[in-house]
A and B are shown apart, each in its own frame.
Chain A
């Protein structure tokens, strides 16, 4: 090959279908004899159900079947699960309520599933759903995160609505550090609840074939293999070997498509009951009501400092809102994905974090882009900023004084950080953002009557979530390795199967670049396949910025096996010893000779091993025909991307309108395969992070009604909300995988909220909570003005 594909801006292989309207999302699939499903959902946040009367609805035109929680129970369909067991500080296991896919006799959030109405058309299903009569006895709902522990339990047997009371760190040592501190800085913080809002609403189609007894579930999922496992092992919908889960093109996930949802279970099971395909597509309001939400923390943080600016300890108390039930990654998100990251990228000798995770009558929360790490980064980057102000140090200098600067570094909580150079990305960001001239820009804004502020966020992320031995020891229900299979076809092109799943990340291209680089096969002759449990080996799917570091490495390992087998075959064909054969740029060459075979020739030979005329069989004795290799990669450690974000905002003093006017990002993602794709991930992540800081908020009223259940009420960031983001990169390759990749999918969302809020607070001189809406900013400015006048 002329030049390396690693690090090349290769245009995406998957784009043409999307650009010409030929993408195939779940809602685009229509099957013969298909029926349409509509869910009857609870209009109440908390109620008991005495009766679900379907008699009138069943007689409505076009109705095929109506199924309720009773039917589900009769068929012994299991409940939805929490995939990660967390142990409380007193040694007791977390407490999880039953979570039937259709309500038994209680509903616990507005949108909770009560019945499925199946009809010949969607309109008929909707019409009939209005005729389903549910006798609810409405109970007082518990809505607010802060009230949950002081309210009566919403689930039987779960005192104080507490799922667990988790403690990480050394309380004694931390208290000692605080007693010896010169200064202690304190903050109370709210991490606002968000709704992920992938643009493709969730959808699911169950398709049962009564002759073959095969059940196919088409679903918009980030991890079809895991869904299949859950649906067979826990929900007992169908045996795993007869269940196929297909996630075709998926229109964004951001964590909201990790779970095996109630709708997945119910349409799959319903299709078995009626012997016809059952199709369900969420309306946007259904997505708002029933997709997993994210964040929703209340936190008190304290930081211990020496007068010279050295941080000596951090203490954090958090209440995290699980919503009505515990979902797959919901219990680990505010614990092991959160607490260890509260140290940020700082050398903090001691820490202690308590997380009380509570149930409320709101939609369940789970991993949303970043999952725990944005919440942690918000805490540490806000308090560090306040600490620098308290000490009177420059934000950059304060951070540098406390950065970890020797690697590997064992943090006082969990992580052993293999690599990084935090000064490098901070310095580069200072330069790119023209930090030294900020005060000039502040004056220019001031001359226009605008308040300008600057905010820093230096972040550390733990991603490429693994290794299995570690995650299972802290409660994971599964290992978090990843699989790959490389299948050389006889004609020399390559089919690659990955257990990861692409729903916008561009795996079809990035993974093909890796295979092309490793095997010397042209990129157009490589096809990446994912999203169908019948095609590739079991895999864990895509979340936690793990696909390249874990899934990409599985591909590398499988490529290595291909080369090793190919070397043996080439040696036989070229009449040399395997150790004399080198592989380079797609050719097996006998050292110091001109004897060589291309990998395509070797692949062909592997599929035609017989002796033909004078041509001897190319396969050495004991080597099987075919050229297919599989690898399951389980890394030795997490990977640790880091970076610096610097945000500048301008605030209109009259209206409170806050605009991000300058945004600089420098990330260290280790090795980058396709910079164009990585930049896209950063842009999107930063936009979501700015969304949380300035625009997005989920609001339940006192009775538990979601008042932000459409795009009319929930503010999604739009094109005119952003300036052009300025990006830069530094690189310290990860040592835990041979690619050196660290992961880039979530970094923007993790780092941006504190950068923006630090800038807003710098501009207005008042502490306010996210999102910094015009109203809040305006009120803060008035308060500020009043207090100045009073002084």
Chain B
């Protein structure tokens, strides 16, 4: 067991956790932030993507203890005072989600892309999102939403 302090969505959180506790477990099971989803056990699907110190990571593959002192943003922390982030708005406007399960990871991943690249091409968007699996949308409206968000940010 060890004490871990992390800033999550702007709030300092300290918890006594087992060494093997994954960041996704801390978020979902200990802090009840269930917006971060678990879709596989092999770091393939990307439903669990959150930001750690501003970079997108797969939270199912990271020990919570390893990011002691870091700042984490989850899908719950992306909107600002109830106003959705331009990426969230774009997903809604262009029907970039259906069942919603992959959506939190997809949105967090896409937000990180635009941090690195202001106006990505369609191919760059598709390549970047290769680590996020969606079974519903065929990706077309997700790609369109990322382009739309890029134009608004």
Contacts and interface: CB of A to CB of B under 8 A. Distances in A.
A789 interface: no
Contacts of B97: 15, 18-19
B41 A283 contact: yes
Nearest to A680: B95
28 contacts: A11-B95, A18-B97, A19-B88, A22-B76, A25-B34, A27-B34, A27-B37, A28-B28, A198-B101, A199-B45, A199-B133, A200-B37, A252-B98, A252-B136, A254-B135, A504-B99, A679-B95, A683-B139, A683-B140, A684-B135, A687-B137, A710-B42, A711-B44, A716-B133, A718-B139, A719-B142, A720-B127, A725-B138
A19 B101 contact: no
Interface in A688-728: 688, 710-712, 716, 718-720, 722, 724-725
Contact of B138 (A198, A710, A722): A722
A686 B138 contact: yes
Interface string A16-28: 1111111111011
A23 B107 CA distance: 14
B76 A21 contact: yes
Interface string B127-145: 1011011111111111100
Interface in B89-106: 91-93, 95, 97-104
Band of interface residues on A = 35 or more
A251 B74 CA distance: 19
B98 A504 contact: yes
A15 B34 contact: no
Interface of B: 28, 32-42, 44-45, 47, 74-76, 78-79, 84, 88, 91-93, 95, 97-104, 107, 122-123, 125-127, 129-130, 132-143
Contacts of B44: 710-712, 716
Interface in A17-47: 17-25, 27-28, 30
A719 B130 contact: yes
Closest A-B pairs by Cβ, 9 of them: A21-B35, A18-B100, A251-B101, A504-B99, A687-B138, A683-B138, A711-B44, A504-B98, A21-B75
Given A20-B75, A724-B122, A200 B101 contact: yes
A787 B65 CA distance: 61
A284 B39 contact: yes
A12 interface: yes
A22 B75 CA distance: 9
B103 A687 contact: no
Contact of A199 (B34, B42, B134, B143): B134
A19 B94 CA distance: 13
Contacts of B39: 199-201, 284
A719 B129 contact: yes
A452 interface: no
A718 B34 contact: no
Nearest to B44: A711
B41 A20 contact: no
Nearest to B107: A19
